Amino acid sequence: MNFLRKTSLGSGRHFRPGPKRLFVIVGLASALVLGLSFVPGTPLKDVLTFIALPFWQAQTYVSDTTVSTIGNMRSKSDLINENASLNAKVLAQEADIVLNRQLQAENDELKAAFGRTNQRELVLAANLNAPGISAYDTVLIDIGANFNIKPGALAFFSSTTAAGYVAEVYSSTALVRLYSTPEEEVPVYAGDRRFFTKAVGQGGGNFIVKLPHDSGIKEGDLVMLPGTPALLLGRVSTIETDVAKSLQAARLMSPYNISETHFLYVQAK
């Protein structure tokens, strides 16, 4: 007796393709769909675009959000670091201010113990200068003998900055000669090493000092008049070095422009 062999197609079991067949089928289907999406006029392209659009938008949103978040994090980090640096500088400056106040107080106490004080009796004087009234680097002021002003009295741009001295006194006016008058000489010390020398006036608020090459003078250094207290004369603007000469020339400028100065302070005796 012959029996018919049942095939898998005739059995009640479902057809289940193997992994390789499934991969091939999915690949062919994907290729077909992709190919149809490029065919002009087919609605499939629009359908696929409609389906994919939300995913593209979501990807773009996530990408933009990530970049923005990273940028904000970096920006906040930079601000935090900058704020910390500024706070450190402020604390350092506050510490310097406190130290300077303590040193000033100790200095005043020491001077008081030896009968020396920083107090000066100063009289405010208006600058009467105008073209043709007085010579260059001299100042005509509106006080004189009527305010007990004497020849040789010191004149100041401010309580800490020297200007010159009273050269001539009249009944209600006086003539102040500035230290920057050409060829006028005044003893000074310069730089961090406080090297003593003399400043020679060059006119127009300018001076020149000559120092050894090893004096350590540099641009920006202060030049002071010795005394109690010391007074600022000017700041070094340029340095002219000539190795063939034993001294180098430092040029300095007064911090005040006399043509823009309306008042001086004069020491009354």
Contacts of 44 (CB under 8 A, 6+ apart): 33, 36, 37
Q: Domain 120-179+261-269 carries which CATH code?
A: 2.40.10.340
- Enumerate the domain spans of the chain: 42-119, 120-179+261-269, 181-253
Tell me the sheet residues that pair with 203.
Answer: 206
Q: Give pLDDT, residue 166.
A: 96
| pLDDT value, residue 94 | 66
CATH architecture entry for 181-253: Beta Barrel (2.40)
Closest C-alpha among 149, 187, 147 to residue 168: 149
Specify whether the CB–CB gap between 239 and 250 falls below 8 A: yes
Amino acid, res. 112: A
Bond preceding residue 182 cis, omega within 30 of 0: no
Q: Please name which of 36, 268, 56 lies closest in space to residue 174, comparing C-alpha atoms.
A: 268
Spatial separation of the C-alpha atoms in residues 28 and 47, rounded to whole Å: 19
pLDDT at 71: 59
Burial of 255 (0-12, 13-18, 19+ CB in 10 A): middle
Q: Say what the pLDDT of residue 33 is.
A: 53
- DSSP label at residue 58: H
pLDDT tens series, the chain, 269 aa: 444 444 444 444 555 555 556 555 655 655 555 555 555 555 555 555 555 556 555 556 556 666 566 656 657 777 777 777 777 677 667 666 665 665 566 666 665 665 555 567 889 999 998 655 666 789 999 999 999 999 999 999 988 899 999 999 999 999 999 999 999 999 998 887 888 999 999 998 999 999 888 788 888 888 999 887 788 999 999 998 876 778 889 999 998 888 888 999 999 86
Tell me if 120-179+261-269 shares its fold with 181-253: yes
Q: Angle CA(109)–CA(110)–CA(116) in degrees, nearest 5?
A: 95
Write out the two tokens for 36.
Answer: 């149809």
Position 81 scores a pLDDT of: 77
pTM score above 0.85:
no
Q: Which residues does 101 contact at the CB level (< 8 Å), separation at least 6? A: none
Gap between the Cα atoms of 196 and 187, Å rounded: 7
Closest CA to 168 of 155, 183, 157, 152: 152
Which two three-digit tokens encode residue 21? 């067949």
Query: ∠ at Cα 172 (168, 177), nearest 5°?
Result: 30
